Structure 1
Amino acid sequence: MGKRSLPRSPLPEPKSIFLMKIVIFTIGTQGDARPFVALGRRLSALGHDIHIVTSARHRPLIVGGGLNLIPIESDFADLMAKEHAAMDNGNQLRIGRQMARALCDWMPLWVKQALAATEGAELVIGSGSATALGASIAEKRNIPFVQAQFMPMTPSRHIPPLWPNPNLPLPGIANLLLTHLARFLIWQLMSAPVSIMRRDLDLAPIGWRGPWSRRSKHTRNQYLLYAFSRHLQPQPDDWPSDRIAVTGSWFYDQTEEWTPPPALTQFLEAGSKPLYIGFGSMMCGNPEAFTRMILDAVRQTGRRAIIATGWGALRALRGQKDDSLFFIENAPHDWLFPRVAMAVHHGGAGTVAAASRVGLPQVIIPFLADQFYWSWRLNTIGITPMILNRRRLTAEKLAHAINKACARSVSEKARLLAPLIEDEEGIGRAIAALTHWGLLKPPIPAEPAV
C-alpha cells in the first residue's frame, strides 16, 4: 500500500447529523491520549461524532485536534509520582495496591461521568486503565465495545509475558501459563474497584477467575485493536484473527502546526545531528542521581544532545549550562525525530513507534510495564543494541550503549524498518477492522454531480 496521510487542512465543519456517536475512554498520560486524537480525527472526517473521555489535563491536545473532550476526574500525575517512588523501592505489589485504592476512590464519580458521556453512543472504545470502565459502560448500555491497546496482552505461545521478565527464553507453554498467571494476579489487585463500578452500574459481578477466564462472558467475542506495528511485533497465529487486529501505530502529526523556538533551530544547525534524550512522564525516587548519571553519560560520548525535560524524571536537568546540550520542555516527535541521530528514552509504545518510523537507533531505559517488553523486542530486532537495567545502570554503561547504537549495523537495521512502518497505515487498518467487524456505519455516498 502506498503512503497516505491525513490532510493537514482543518477538519470538516461540524455536521448536524452524524453517522454514529463514538466515545473513547483513555486515562493516563498524554502519550496514552495522543493516538486516540489521531484515530478520532480520521473517524470524525468520515462523519462520526467523537468524544474522548480523559483527564482535563489533556484539553489542549483533544480540543486542538478538533475533537470533543469529556473530562473525567482523576489526579493521574500525582498517582504516577507515588507509583514511581514505590517502584524505585522494588515494591511492585505496593504500586498495584496504590492504583487499586485510587481507583476505588474515583470509581463512583467515574461511573456517573461515564454514563453521562455515553448518552446516545453507539460504540465505546477503551484502553489501558479505562478498559474495564469502557467495557462495563458498554455492557450497561448494550452497545459494542472495542479494546485498543499498545502492547501485546493476549496470551500467546510466541510472545513472552511482561512478567516476570520478557528477556527470559521460555518454551511456548510457559509463555501461555505465565501470561495467564499475570492476568490472574492483576485481577486480584483490581477486582475491588471493578466490583464497585459494576455494583454502581447494577451489573452482575465478575467471578474470582477474572474477566479473562474462558468461563467469563465479559470478554467472550470482545474485539481488540492492537495499535503497534506488525514489523515490531507480528500478530501470532494463535490469536483469533476474527476478533483481534494488529493495525500499526496511530500517529498524530503536528509538524505543520508546531513552530520550534528559534534557539532550538539554531542548536540543530550549529553542528552534527544530536542525540534525543527524554523519558516522557516517567518519574523516579531519586531524580537528582538519575539526572547526574544521564548527564555524565552524554559527556562521556562527546556528543551533542537535546534533552526533553517534560514533567518527569529529567526536570532537574534544567538550568545546566553546556553548549553541547539543549533543554526543551517537549516537542512533537514527528517534527524533532527526523532531525536527531538517535533516541534515548523509556521505551513507551508511542516513543518506540515514533523513533522507529524515522529509522532511529534507540537506547531504552525501561521504568515499568510494557517498556521492558519493547526493550526486549527492539533488541531482538536489532535496533536497540543492549538491554539495560535502570537499577544497575551507570554513566559508563549508558555511554557504552549509546556508542554501540551508533554502529553501522544498528543504524542500517533501523533505517530499513522506517519505510515499512511509515507505509503501514495503522489508522486506516483500524477503521477497516472496525468496518469488517460490523461496528462502524459506512460513510454516506456523495450525491452524483448533476
Structure 2
Amino acid sequence: MRIGMQTWGSHGDVRPFLALAEGLHAAGHDVTLVVTTIDTDAYARMAARPGLRIEAAGAPLLGPAEAQGIMEEIYQVRDPMRQAATLMRLVFAPVEDAMFEAAQRLCAQSDLVIGHFIVHPLQVAAQHAGVPYASVFLAHGSLPTVHAHPLGTFGPTVNRALWWLTRRMLNGAFNHYPDRLRRQLGMPPLRDIIDDAWVSPRLTLMAVSPQICVRQPDWPAQVHVCGFLDMPNVAVEGALPAALDAFLAAGDAPVYMTLGSWTPEQPAAQRATLALFTEAARLAGCRAIIQSPSWQDCGVVSDDRVLYVSAAPHHAIFPRCAAVVHHGGAGTTQAATLAGKPSVVIAHISEQEHWGSELRRLGIAGKVLRRRDVTAARLARRIREVLGQPEMATRAAAIGAAMRRENGVQVAVGLIEREFGRND
C-alpha cells in the first residue's frame, strides 16, 4: 500500500510514528510521514530512502523566550480543559493550515492515511477525499470509559457523568477547529470530537503497553491496544556521551533527570531548572545525570556526584540508572518503564499528571509533583521515597521485562494489514 502518515507535537509524538513508519516500510509498504514539531529541522534532515520519506510541514518559528513564555503560560493553568485549549491556541492553531495542505497532499497520493488522533486536518482531508483513515492514540486517558476518568476512578455512575461533561467541554473548546476546515470543503460540522474525529470508524490504535493500559470493554470495537511503538535509537536523540561510562563505573547507579521537550530553552530558565535538579540530588544524597541542552552555557561543572549531559538516548542510559525523574510524557514514561526503572514524575500538563498517576497505580512511582510548585526539597523527598522502596524497583523490573517481550510495531502493522489489506 501507499501509506501517508501525519503527526504533530514533541519528539514523544514523532518517535512512535517513526517506529510505525519503519515497521510498515519493512513489511513492504511505501510510506510518507509528515511531521510538525518544534524540532522540525532535525527531522527534515533525516535521509529518505526508497519507499520511506520523512517530510516537515508548518514548523512554528519560536525563539527560546517565546517558547518559554508559552510553556509557562500552559503549565500555570490549573484547569485541564483550559490548559488543553491554551495549548491548541498557542501551538497547534498557528500551523493548522500548513498541516491541512500537507494532509490533502497525503490523501491525494495514498491508499491509506494514519494520523495522530489530535491531527484533525488529516481526518477532515481523508473523509473528504474518501481515503481510509486510521488514528493513533499515544495515551489512553483521552478515550472515554465508564471504568475510569483522568480525574480519578469513582465508579461507573460518576465516571459516566464526568465523561458526559468532559465531552460537552471538549466539543465546546475544540470542534471549531475541524469545523473551520470542514466548511472550506462544504462538509457538515462535527457532532462529537471524540467519536467523529479522534476515533477512526475503521481502526484506532492505542499505542500503549498492555502492562499499563488494559482495553476497556466499553471502548468501540475498532479500538485495539497494540502496545508501545518502540524503535532503536534515532539520530536526533544523539549518542551516549563519552564521559558517561566513566561516571557510571565510578559509583552507585545514578538517578537520571530530564524534563524532555519541556526543558526550557531560555538561559535563565534553564539555569533555574539545573539548580533545581542539582540541589534535589544533593538533598536526596544520590548521584545524578542531569540532561539539559545548553548546560555548558549555564555555569555548572560536572563532578563525581553529578554529570551534566546535553542529550542521551533513553533506551541506552535508562537501564543503567536507579530511577528516572521526568516530565511524564508518553514516550519518556514508557521508555523508563520499558527499562524496568521506577519514576518520579514532574508534570506540566494534565496528560502528564495522568501518566504519573498510572505509574503510581502500578506501584512504580510516587505521588506526582507539579512543575508550577515543585521545589528542590519536595523533589528530593520524592527521590528518597522511590530509592528507599526495594519492592518498587522489583515491581518496575518485572513490568519492564514483560514490556520487552511485546512488539507494538509488529502488532500494529498486523492490525493495519488485516483491516485495510495489502493491495498486493
If the length of structure 2 is used for normalisation, what is the TM-score? 0.87
The alpha-carbon deviation at position 111 of structure 1 amounts to 2.4
Tell me, yes or no, if the aligned pair for 1:24 and 1:51 is still in contact at 8 Å. Answer: yes
1:52 aligns with one of 33, 42, 45: 33
TM-fit CA distance, 1:39 = 0.8
Could you tell me whether the CA contact under 8 Å between 1:363 and 1:401 is conserved in 2?
Answer: yes
Tell me how far 1:341 sits from its aligned partner: 1.4
| CA separation of 1:24 and 1:81: change in aligned 2, threshold 3 A | farther
Q: Deviations over 1:414-441 (max 9, x none)?
A: 01111110111111111222233x2131
| Equivalent position amino acid for 1:69 in 2 | I
Residue 384 of structure 2 is aligned to residue 410 of structure 1: no
Deviation per CA, 1:38-93, whole angstroms, max 9, x where unpaired? 11111001111111111373454473585312221131756854432213432653
Matched ranges for 1:50-199 at <5 A: 50-55=31-36, 57-58=39-40, 60-61=42-43, 63-64=46-47, 67-75=52-60, 81-90=68-77, 92=79, 93=82, 96-97=85-86, 99-100=88-89, 103-130=92-119, 132-152=120-140, 153-161=142-150, 165-166=151-152, 169-199=153-183
CA distance in structure 2 between the aligned counterparts of 1:234 and 1:352, rounded to whole angstroms: 16
Gaps of 5+ in 2: none
Query: Would the aligned equivalents of 2:270 and 2:298 in 1 still touch at CA under 8 Å?
Result: no
The one-letter amino acid of 2:309's match is I
Shift of the 192–121 alpha-carbon distance from structure 1 to 2, 3 Å rule, reads same
Aligned mates of 2:279, 2:297 — CA distance in 1: 12
Deviations 1:285-325 (A, max 9, x none): 965544433221111122211111148xxx69843124121
Identity %: 26
CA 1:49–1:81: 2 relative to 1, 3 Å = farther
Secondary structure at the aligned position of 2:307 is classed as: strand
Give the counterpart of 1:270 among 250, 261, 280.
250
From the superposition, tell whether residues 156 and 212 of structure 1 become closer, same or farther in structure 2 (CA, over 3 Å): same
- 2:347 partner SS: coil
The 2-side partners of 1:301 and 1:342 are apart by: 13
Q: 1:7 maps to what in 2?
A: none
CA deviation string 1:206-228 (max 9, x = no partner): 24xx3336xx5995734210111
Q: Distance in 2 between matches of 1:71 and 1:217?
A: 23
Give the conservation status (yes or no) of the 8 Å contact 2:107–2:131. Answer: no
Q: For 1:14-413, list aligned pairs within 5 A.
A: 20-55=1-36, 57-58=39-40, 60-61=42-43, 63-64=46-47, 67-75=52-60, 81-90=68-77, 92=79, 93=82, 96-97=85-86, 99-100=88-89, 103-130=92-119, 132-152=120-140, 153-161=142-150, 165-166=151-152, 169-207=153-191, 210-212=192-194, 221-240=201-220, 242-254=221-233, 259-283=239-263, 288-310=271-293, 318-323=298-303, 324-406=305-387, 407-413=389-395
> SS at the partner of 1:417?
helix
Distance in 1 (alpha carbons) for counterparts of 2:10 and 2:62: 8
Counterpart of 2:216, as a letter, is P
Q: Distance in 1 between matches of 2:277 and 2:198?
A: 45
Distance 1:220 1:288, change over 3 A: closer
1:24 positional shift: 0.9
Structure 1 or 2: more helix by fraction: 2
Instruction: Give the SS at the match of 1:412.
Output: helix
**AA in 2 matched with 1:292:** A
Distance in 1, matches of 2:173 and 2:18, equals: 30
State the alpha-carbon separation in 2 of the partners of residues 344 and 332 from structure 1: 15
* 2:114 counterpart letter in structure 1: I
CA contact (8 A) 1:37 1:65 kept: no
SS in 2 for 1:231: coil
Aligned to 1:15: none
How many Å separate the matches in 1 of 2:359 and 2:273? 23
The change in CA–CA distance for 1:69 and 1:417 in structure 2 (over 3 A counts) is: same
Residue aligned with 1:106, SS: helix
CA distance in 2: counterparts of 1:263 and 1:220, whole angstroms: 47
CA displacement 1:335-388 (0-9 Å, x = unmatched): 111221110001111111111112101111111132111111111110002332
Task: Rate the CA distance shift 1:326–1:195 in 2: closer, same or farther, 3 A.
Answer: same
1:234-292 CA distance string (max 9 Å, x none): 1122223x301111101121289964332223222222221100011115796554443
